[in-house]
Chain A
Amino acid sequence: MSGGLITLRSTRRPKTPPSVLRPAKSRLLTVLIGLMVVYSVVPLIWLVINATKSQQSLLSSFGLWFADDFSLVDNVVETLTYDDGIFLRWLSNTMLYVIAGAGGATILAVLGGYALAKFDFVGKPAVFAVVIGAVAVPGTALAVPTFLMFSEMGLTNTPWAVIIPTLISPFGLYLMWIFCADSIPRDLMEAARIDGANELRLFLQVCLPLLKPGIVTVALFNMVATWNNYFLPLIMLRNENLYPLTLGLTAWNRQASTIGGEAIFHLVITGALLTIIPLIVVFLLLQRYWQSGLSLGSTKE
Chain B
Amino acid sequence: MKQLTGRTCTGTAAFAISALALSACGGSEETTETDAALEEGGTITVWAWEPTLEQVAEAFEAENEGVTVDLVNVGTGDEHYTNLQNAMRAGSGLPDVAQVEYFAIPQYILGESLMDLSEFGADEYAEDTFTDGPWGSVTFGGEGIYGIPMDSGPIALFYNEDVFDEHGVEVPETWEEYEEAARQFREADDDVYITSDQGDAGQVTTMVWQAGGTPFSTEGTDVTVNLTEDEGTAQWAEYWQPFIDDELIMPVAGWTDEWYQALGDGSIASLTIGAWMPANLESAVPDGEGSWRVAPLPQWEAGDSQTAEQGGSSLAIPEGAENAELAYEFMEFAGVGDGVQERLDAGAFPATLEDLQSDDFINREYEYFGGQQINQVLSESAQNVAEGWEYLPFQGYAHSVFNDTVGQAYEGQATLEEGLSDWEDDLEAYGRDQGFDIAE
Kindly state whether residue A199 has any CB partner on chain B within 8 Å: no
The residues of B that contact A148 with a CB separation of less than 8 Å are: 86, 89-90
* Contact A56 B311, beta carbon cutoff 8 Å: no
Question: B2, B86, B89, B91: which has the most chain A beta carbons within 10 Å?
Answer: B86
Kindly state whether residue A235 has any CB partner on chain B within 8 Å: yes
Kindly state whether residue A154 has any CB partner on chain B within 8 Å: yes
Quick one: closest B residue to A239, CB to CB?
B72
* Contact B264 A259, beta carbon cutoff 8 Å: no
One of A58, A251, A258, A261 near B257 (C-beta < 8 A): A58
CA distance A139 to B1 in the complex (A): 25
Also in contact, A258 and B3, with CB within 8 A (given A151-B90, A238-B74): yes
The interface on chain B, measured as residues whose beta carbon lies within 8 A of the other chain's beta carbons, has a size of 48
Encoded as 1 (CB less than 8 Å from any A CB) or 0, chain B from 279 to 303 comes to 1100110110000000000000000
Kindly state whether residue B30 has any CB partner on chain A within 8 Å: no
The residues of A that contact B257 with a CB separation of less than 8 Å are: 58-59, 256, 265
The residues of A that contact B50 with a CB separation of less than 8 Å are: 258-260
Kindly state whether residue B265 has any CB partner on chain A within 8 Å: yes
CA distance A193 to B259 in the complex (A): 70
* Contact B280 A259, beta carbon cutoff 8 Å: yes
CA distance A59 to B257 in the complex (A): 7
Kindly state whether residue B255 has any CB partner on chain A within 8 Å: yes
Encoded as 1 (CB less than 8 Å from any B CB) or 0, chain A from 140 to 174 comes to 00001001100110101100000000000000000
CA distance A270 to B399 in the complex (A): 31
Kindly state whether residue A262 has any CB partner on chain B within 8 Å: yes
One of A59, A147, A262 near B86 (C-beta < 8 A): A147
The residues of A that contact B36 with a CB separation of less than 8 Å are: none
The residues of A that contact B2 with a CB separation of less than 8 Å are: 257
* Contact B77 A254, beta carbon cutoff 8 Å: yes
* Contact A259 B4, beta carbon cutoff 8 Å: yes
CA distance A254 to B77 in the complex (A): 9
Interface Cβ pair total, 8 Å cutoff? 110
Also in contact, A56 and B287, with CB within 8 A (given A234-B79, A238-B74, A259-B4): yes
* Contact B1 A257, beta carbon cutoff 8 Å: yes
Q: Which residues A241-277 have CB closer than 8 A to chain B?
A: 247, 250-251, 254-263, 265
Shortest Cβ gap from A264 to chain B (Å): 9
One of B77, B83, B312 near A238 (C-beta < 8 A): B83
Kindly state whether residue A295 has any CB partner on chain B within 8 Å: no
Quick one: closest B residue to A240, CB to CB?
B73
* Contact A235 B51, beta carbon cutoff 8 Å: no
CA distance A234 to B312 in the complex (A): 24
CA distance A265 to B313 in the complex (A): 24
The residues of A that contact B168 with a CB separation of less than 8 Å are: none
Quick one: closest A residue to B274, CB to CB?
A259
* Contact A256 B90, beta carbon cutoff 8 Å: no
* Contact A60 B82, beta carbon cutoff 8 Å: no
Kindly state whether residue B93 has any CB partner on chain A within 8 Å: yes
The residues of A that contact B264 with a CB separation of less than 8 Å are: 59-60
Also in contact, A251 and B73, with CB within 8 A (given A234-B82, A259-B348, A260-B348): yes
* Contact A238 B47, beta carbon cutoff 8 Å: yes
* Contact A260 B72, beta carbon cutoff 8 Å: no
The residues of B that contact A254 with a CB separation of less than 8 Å are: 1, 3, 49, 75-77
* Contact B93 A257, beta carbon cutoff 8 Å: no
The residues of A that contact B1 with a CB separation of less than 8 Å are: 254, 256-257
Kindly state whether residue B354 has any CB partner on chain A within 8 Å: no
One of B47, B86, B255, B265 near A256 (C-beta < 8 A): B255
Q: Which residues A221-239 have CB closer than 8 A to chain B?
A: 234-235, 238-239
Encoded as 1 (CB less than 8 Å from any A CB) or 0, chain B from 359 to 371 comes to 0000000000000
* Contact A235 B82, beta carbon cutoff 8 Å: yes
Kindly state whether residue B347 has any CB partner on chain A within 8 Å: yes
CA distance A196 to B296 in the complex (A): 91
Kindly state whether residue B260 has any CB partner on chain A within 8 Å: yes
The residues of A that contact B3 with a CB separation of less than 8 Å are: 254, 257-258
The residues of B that contact A247 with a CB separation of less than 8 Å are: 75
The residues of B that contact A250 with a CB separation of less than 8 Å are: 79
The residues of A that contact B24 with a CB separation of less than 8 Å are: none
Quick one: closest A residue to B349, CB to CB?
A259
CA distance A247 to B315 in the complex (A): 24
Question: B75, B264, B274: which has the most chain A beta carbons within 10 Å?
Answer: B75
* Contact A262 B72, beta carbon cutoff 8 Å: no
CA distance A151 to B320 in the complex (A): 15
The residues of A that contact B286 with a CB separation of less than 8 Å are: 56
One of B90, B151, B274 near A147 (C-beta < 8 A): B90
One of A154, A235, A240, A256 near B284 (C-beta < 8 A): A256
CA distance A240 to B279 in the complex (A): 24
The residues of A that contact B283 with a CB separation of less than 8 Å are: 261-263
* Contact A151 B92, beta carbon cutoff 8 Å: yes
CA distance A238 to B84 in the complex (A): 10
CA distance A156 to B87 in the complex (A): 10
Shortest Cβ gap from B420 to chain A (Å): 25
One of B52, B92, B255 near A257 (C-beta < 8 A): B255
Encoded as 1 (CB less than 8 Å from any A CB) or 0, chain B from 307 to 345 comes to 000011100000000000000000000000000000000
The residues of B that contact A263 with a CB separation of less than 8 Å are: 260, 280, 283-284
The residues of A that contact B75 with a CB separation of less than 8 Å are: 234, 247, 251, 254
Q: Could you list 29 A-B pairs, sorted by A, with CB under 8 Å?
A: A56-B286, A59-B287, A147-B90, A151-B93, A234-B75, A235-B83, A240-B72, A250-B79, A251-B75, A251-B76, A254-B3, A254-B77, A255-B76, A256-B1, A256-B260, A257-B76, A257-B254, A257-B255, A259-B4, A259-B276, A259-B279, A259-B280, A259-B313, A260-B52, A260-B276, A260-B346, A261-B283, A262-B51, A263-B280
Beyond A259-B313, A260-B279, 4 additional pairs, beta carbon < 8 A? A60-B287, A156-B93, A261-B280, A265-B257
Which residues of chain A have a CB within 8 Å of any CB of chain B?
A: 56, 58-60, 144, 147-148, 151-152, 154, 156-157, 234-235, 238-240, 247, 250-251, 254-263, 265
A-B pairs, top 10 by smallest CB distance, nearest first, are: A263-B284, A151-B90, A257-B255, A257-B1, A59-B261, A254-B76, A238-B74, A260-B279, A259-B276, A262-B283
